[in-house]
Amino acid sequence: MIPKCAWCNKQSDDLKEITVLSTGLPASNRRKISYSVCPEHEHRLRRFYDRVRRYAILFVSLMIIGIFGVVMPSVFYNNVWSGYLFIMSFESMGLVLVIFPFCAPETMAMMGVAKSIRIARIMGGAFFAVGAFVFILALLYR
């Protein structure tokens, strides 16, 4: 069986084995992971994992804040501002996904890192666009 590139998910005989440090949270759970990658994609993969390692805690924190912003108003409040907070939290989660397009390791293994980044950004943009559209509708029809 011909191995696949971790970045583009294409089969190739000319793959290079590289090792990157995982993004284990907390930092004590970090370990080295080996990937097979095309030589022309090595720099991109290393740069992506450096970015993931650097911003993983910020990404998780912002997503948790966004989730609480979506859940808390709908559970505890029943006024106009809770609807706005719900919509803005939805938009902020979309913006976080556009800025930090981090997917699950299973998604990256199945589709390749490049395609998973693209999918995360598309989903983030869709979240943001739907949130902005609903926010505009809420302002117009309140």
Residues 83-112 have pLDDT tens digits of: 777 788 888 999 999 999 998 888 988 999
Locate the domains of the chain by residue range. 16-140
The C-alpha atoms of residue 10 and residue 28 are separated, in whole angstroms, by 33
Residue 79: its pLDDT value, please? Answer: 67
**Mean pLDDT, the chain, integer:** 86
Per-residue pLDDT of 4-55, as tens digits, reads 999 999 988 889 999 887 776 666 677 888 889 999 999 999 999 899 888 9
Residue 125: its pLDDT value, please? Answer: 96
Residue 59: its pLDDT value, please? Answer: 92
Dihedral sign (CA 7, 12, 15, 19): positive
Residue 72 and residue 81 in contact, taking contact as beta carbons nearer than 8 Å: no
76 pLDDT above the threshold of 80: no
The C-alpha atoms of residue 134 and residue 127 are separated, in whole angstroms, by 11
Residue 122: its pLDDT value, please? Answer: 97
Residue 44: its pLDDT value, please? Answer: 94
> In the numeric block, which tokens belong to residue 114?
């490049």
Residue 49 and residue 21 in contact, taking contact as beta carbons nearer than 8 Å: yes
